[in-house]
Amino acid sequence: ALLFALAAPLAPNAVALQEAVVTTTDLYPGEWTIERGAERWLCYRIVDDASGRPIANAELFLVPEHQTPLAGTFWSTRSATSDAEGFVRVRVDDIAKPWPIQVLRADGYGVSSRSNPGEPIWRLAPAQDVPVLVRDWRGRPVAGAVIGLCGSCGHGPDLVNATSDENGIAILRGIDPFNDIADLYCQARGLELGYESLRWRPGDPPFVLMCEYAPPLTGKLVDASGRGIAGAYVGVRDVHRGPWARTGADGTFEILGAPDGSWPSAVVEGRDVWFPRPAAYPAVLHVPAAGTERENEGTVDDPAPDETPAVVTKRIAVRVEGGDDEGAVSVVFPGSGHRAAKEGHIEVPTSGPFVVCVGDRRLAFDGIDELPHEPVVLRDFTPTIVRGTVVDALGRAVPVRASLALHGDEQSTEVRAQDGVIEFAVHKTGKALLEIAPEVAGLRTRLLHVTLPARGDGQRLALGKLALSTEPQLRVLAADGTPPAGVEVGIARSGYEPVGEDTVYPLDSAGGWSGPDLGAGDVIVITPVPAAGSDAVEQIPIPFRTVLTGSGPWTITPPTGTLTLNVRGLTADDEAGVVVGDHTATVGFTSTWIGLPEGPTKLWISAPGRQTAIVTTTIPKFGEKTLSVELLPL
């Protein structure tokens, strides 16, 4: 049905337009789960995080959990593809088993996952290729290790897999390192899973996945008559991820990544079977016949004793140079976890290899005879030295105060440099934010992101000459050239922040940007702030997103279009869901939308038991547009 909404006068001498409204029974975002009779559906709009533009042909997967997940295996119970407007719809009431995980893939974007039900606008970030350095428990790079990125609890499938090269580097391609869950795990002979959450930004050194010692669990799974059982799952349940393996045609298996001393279990035709811990591997695991009184209690040929003999250790005196005697010192060796230093001493095994950890350094020894004389002197890596010279536009040194904000719990002290030479000694890696405040008038404070290298002795980060300016890189101005009132201005940088998030920085009195150095590809997000005393009518601010191009300086004039929307056909208890571009809100009878761009725009308005109204309208540059739209019954 083609209807007409009412258009209020736009401004003096402006022409009042009639607005086209098409009603449809097609599904659009509104409720979390949309009910149509006995049917239930999900509906989302998929958009580019930077520009807000809709993404067509994105594929949504509904994923159930598996109790026996296998590396490199992806599964789903249903999928659907987004249309040209970025809307994706999938029916869910006829899916018998739970599907608590959603995965979204689109060309050029990082694979994304989340739990149900999820926001109606699903933002995607550009794909990142992330290097991961796999190290064994002795700190050595591992070649041929298979790593996986798990985007849910460990019972979900891998999103991406990669194999480490001869230098221990594996590249996870096409991911979003800020995915809601981004957990890494490894499977390689002699290593534990190394389950750890990914933390990485473009320009960072490879993320280090440290994996402790774990022998492979090998053997054969047999039935009550001694025949090998093919296609069964064998694994351990120490973590959600397992790990698990599937038996071959003859019942043989190899489980990689299980913590040392794990107890095996199996899933045979849906039946859980537990086994005593074998004394040694390869082991033969016997599965009792189904339907027997103890059908879940398996046996092994050679079970381990109830109590494992303690490892014989020796107490060694240590001294940490540059820190406390105990500091962050510990010892790790096969069959043990990390054993922290106590009272200036460590406990090391009297036979076999071990590692002494001090700070970020791992010192590997093949045996106690390799230790130097007591007290053993331990040193962490020397601090990374960050150094630069601050100058003005003419290259003259500038007296400054400077600080380096680091992630984690380390914060550098402020330094003052009359000669403009700043220097910091830090113990972190990855992103840091350098703030330089001049102590002369006329120059602007400068913020810039720097990337700290991997830890090591003698590491240096030379920043060179850091020029301060008298003018900002960016100005935000109203249409009349004056600084706008009532806006918040933030920056979103691909790969640096989670999707949909931006860091807000204040503007100066002339509308000048006070945030970190900007560059092409950065997204400036300008959000109008509702005026005080506007509670009578709900005001909904629309963030305006601009992707910077070129080298600047830039000037941005944010839109100021205003739309008052009257929704008819609602009962007193109803609310409508409205989609405008990459923004959605739940509204009542009347709402005012502020910060809309001038020109054509489109709205999708939905409510329970009502058809969706698709409104095509034009937002004026000045004045306020008023629309009245009636939602018809289904």
Q: What is the pLDDT of residues 498-552, one digit of tens each?
A: 998 899 999 999 999 999 999 999 999 999 998 776 566 789 999 999 999 999 8
Q: Which residues pair with 121 in a beta bridge?
A: 45
The pLDDT value recorded for residue 535 is 60
Query: CA 17 to CA 127: how far, in whole Å?
Result: 42
The structure's pTM equals: 0.91
Lowest mean per-residue pLDDT among 15-29, 82-96, 111-125, 332-346: 15-29
The pLDDT value recorded for residue 163 is 98
Q: Residue 231: pLDDT above 70?
A: yes
The pLDDT value recorded for residue 534 is 56
| More confident: 372 or 573 | 372
The pLDDT value recorded for residue 4 is 37
The token pair at 457 is 């002795």
Per-residue pLDDT reduced to its tens digit, 398-423: 999 999 988 655 667 789 999 999 99
Inter-residue contact 589 to 603 (CB < 8 Å): no
> Which residues neighbour 538 within 8 Å (Cβ) at sequence distance 6 or greater?
587, 588, 590, 591, 592
Q: Residue 6: pLDDT above 50?
A: no
Inter-residue contact 130 to 148 (CB < 8 Å): no
CA atoms within 13 A on the CB side of 268: 25
**Residue among 185, 54, 24 nearest 123 (CA):** 54
The pLDDT value recorded for residue 568 is 93
Residue 328: which pLDDT band, with cuts at 50, 70 and 90?
Answer: confident
The pLDDT value recorded for residue 410 is 60
Q: Residue 297: pLDDT above 90?
A: yes
Measured from the Cβ of residue 264, the count of other Cβ atoms closer than 10 Å reads: 25
**Residue among 493, 388, 382, 496 nearest 434 (CA):** 388
Q: Where are the alpha helices (DSSP H) in 466-539?
A: none
Query: CA 429 to CA 385: how far, in whole Å?
Result: 12
Per-residue pLDDT reduced to its tens digit, 554-568: 999 999 999 999 999
Average pLDDT, the chain: 91
Inter-residue contact 551 to 531 (CB < 8 Å): no
Name residue 54's amino acid.
P
Per-residue pLDDT reduced to its tens digit, 439-455: 999 999 999 999 999 99
Residue 315: which pLDDT band, with cuts at 50, 70 and 90?
Answer: very high
CA angle 242, 244, 246 (to 5 degrees): 165
Per-residue pLDDT reduced to its tens digit, 118-131: 899 999 999 999 99
Cα–Cα distances in angstroms (integers) from residue 67 to residues 229, 240, 618, in the given order: 19, 8, 53
Collapse the DSSP code of 620 into the 3-class scheme (helix H, G, I; strand E, B; otherwise coil) and give the result. coil
Radius of gyration of the chain (CA): 31
Torsions phi, psi for 370 (to 5 deg): -80, -10
Across 366-383, average pLDDT? 93
Across 11-33, average pLDDT? 72
Share of the chain above pLDDT 90, in %: 81
Q: Residue 230: pLDDT above 80?
A: yes
The token pair at 153 is 């609890």
Across 459-487, average pLDDT? 95
The pLDDT value recorded for residue 408 is 58
Q: Residue 601: pLDDT above 90?
A: yes
Please identify which residue in the block is written with the tokens 């510990």: 330
Torsions phi, psi for 368 (to 5 deg): -65, -25
Name residue 204's amino acid.
D
Q: Residue 592: pLDDT above 60?
A: yes
Q: Residue 193: pLDDT above 90?
A: yes
The pLDDT value recorded for residue 260 is 83
The pLDDT value recorded for residue 533 is 63
Residue 7: which pLDDT band, with cuts at 50, 70 and 90?
Answer: very low
Query: CA 239 to CA 360: how far, in whole Å?
Result: 25
Strands 121-124 and 39-48: parallel
The token pair at 527 is 């959000």
The token pair at 528 is 């109008």
Query: CA 83 to CA 581: how far, in whole Å?
Result: 15
Query: What DSSP state is assigned to residue 368?
Result: G
Cα–Cα distances in angstroms (integers) from residue 300 to residues 199, 219, 222, 234, 305, in the given order: 41, 10, 10, 14, 12
Inter-residue contact 148 to 172 (CB < 8 Å): no
The pLDDT value recorded for residue 327 is 63
Per-residue pLDDT reduced to its tens digit, 236-287: 998 888 999 999 999 999 999 998 888 999 999 999 999 999 999 999 999 9
CA angle 150, 152, 154 (to 5 degrees): 70
Inter-residue contact 564 to 624 (CB < 8 Å): yes
Measured from the Cβ of residue 460, the count of other Cβ atoms closer than 10 Å reads: 9
Query: CA 440 to CA 227: how far, in whole Å?
Result: 84
Inter-residue contact 54 to 40 (CB < 8 Å): no
